[in-house]
Every structure is written in C-alpha cells, then in structure tokens.
Chains A and B, each alone.
Chain A
Amino acid sequence: MIHHSLKRKVRDATHRLMARSWGRTGKGIVALAGVGLAGGCVQVTAPERPIEINLNINIRQEVVVRLQQDAQELIRNNEGIF
C-alpha cells in the first residue's frame, strides 16, 4: 500500500515537471513563430502616383499604320469578338 502511494507521488511529480517544461518550450515556439511571421511580412503601400488611364501610351503611329492589313485579317478571323 505504501509502495503504491509512493509510486503515484513520483508519477504525479513527473507529470508536473513535464507539464511545466512543455509549457516553457511551447511558449518559446509560439514566440519564434511570431518573429518569423513578422520578419516575412510583405509591406504593401499604395503607389505614389495615381493610376492614370492613357490610351495613347506606348503607341508608335507608324507601327499602327503598318499593322492595318493584319488588323483587318484579325477581325475577319475572329468575328465573334469584334
């Protein structure tokens, strides 16, 4: 009987110790994960200039004129979308 209760006391003490050490390790892991997440954050900021709609951007007029034949064929071959 004495032997039995002694065994239980030892077992309980071991459990408490494990719980305490796990608690500490667990907090450590959470803290580490937090640092990792903060370090990996991508900062998204709004562009400095407003987005402008300019239909004439990047267009060389001589290229547009040269492409007229191709454009005509493009429309003919894709009736549904033109």
Chain B
Amino acid sequence: MTREMKLMVAAALGLAMVAGGAAYAYAYQDAAAQLRASGQAGEQADGYMGVVGSAPANIRSQVEQINIQRRAAYTQLAQQRGVTIEEAAAATACQIFAGRIGAGQYYRLPDGVWRQRNGNEPVPRPSHCG
C-alpha cells in the first residue's frame, strides 16, 4: 500500500466517524420529536410520553428511555422547588401541550383516550394547567 492510499483510507475513516457522530447526535437530540412524528408515541397529561396502540418493541424502549430522563429532570425541579415529582411533571405537561404537539400528532388527557391533533387546531390543555 502506497503512502497516498494509506492517507486516503485514514481520511475516509475519519470522515465516516464524524458523519456517524453527527447523525447520532442529530437522532438523539430529536428523539422525542421523532417519536411524536412517527405517530406511534404521543404526549400524556402526566408529563411523560406514551405508546400509541401496539407499537413495536424498539419504539416502546425509546419511549421508556425518554421517560427515564424526563423523570430525572422532573425530580431535580421538584427538589429545587419543594414540590412533588408529579407536580413538576404535570406543570411541564402544560408547556408540552401548549407548544410541542404538531399537526396530526397524538396526545392523551386524563381520560386515557389517545387523540390526534386536527391540523393546527389548538390542543386542549389538561385541566390541572388552570
């Protein structure tokens, strides 16, 4: 193998790693948004994501991963403000329902029924939002 070929291989490998890393970061950053867009997961009034219908195992595990991280964030906020984790989560749900659910995406109020946002019609806010 000539010196040039070695350099080319190294460059290609480097490029692939950078591209892969960027793709991973992109996918990770938008995990919740992508799940909502897939129509297989939606937002719940309790501040967590839920699986819509009988989603495949990979969707279920992604939802679970997000919920674990959300719970950690809610726990931290709850401790800072001296409130319960449920309250921190429910408060965040108000913001999620107000601005994160896109057209045609799913949400679930305390009645337990999954509903789809109809176009750009406003999403009803959970009653606890005041």
Contacts and interface: CB of A to CB of B under 8 A. Distances in A.
A75 interface: yes
A63 B31 contact: no
A58 B92 contact: no
Nearest to B67: A81
Contacts of A68: 91, 94-95
A67 B81 contact: yes
Interface residues of A, number: 25
B115 interface: no
Contacts of B29: 79-80
A65 interface: yes
A70 B86 contact: no
Given A56-B110, A82-B32, A64 B129 contact: yes
Nearest to B66: A81
B94 A55 contact: no
State the main secondary structure of chain B at its contact with A.
helix
A44 interface: no
B125 to A, nearest CB: 11
A67 B88 CA distance: 7
B121 interface: no
Contact of B130 (A61, A71, A80): A61
A19 B8 CA distance: 78
Interface string B87-130: 11011101110001000000001101000000000000011111
Nearest to A62: B130
Contacts of A63: 83, 87, 91
Nearest to B126: A55
Contacts of B80: 70
A78 B73 contact: yes
Given A56-B128, A80-B30, A81-B66, A67 B46 contact: no
Given A55-B90, A82-B100, 16 more contacts: A58-B84, A59-B86, A60-B83, A61-B128, A63-B83, A64-B90, A64-B91, A67-B77, A67-B87, A71-B88, A71-B94, A71-B95, A80-B69, A81-B32, A82-B32, A82-B92
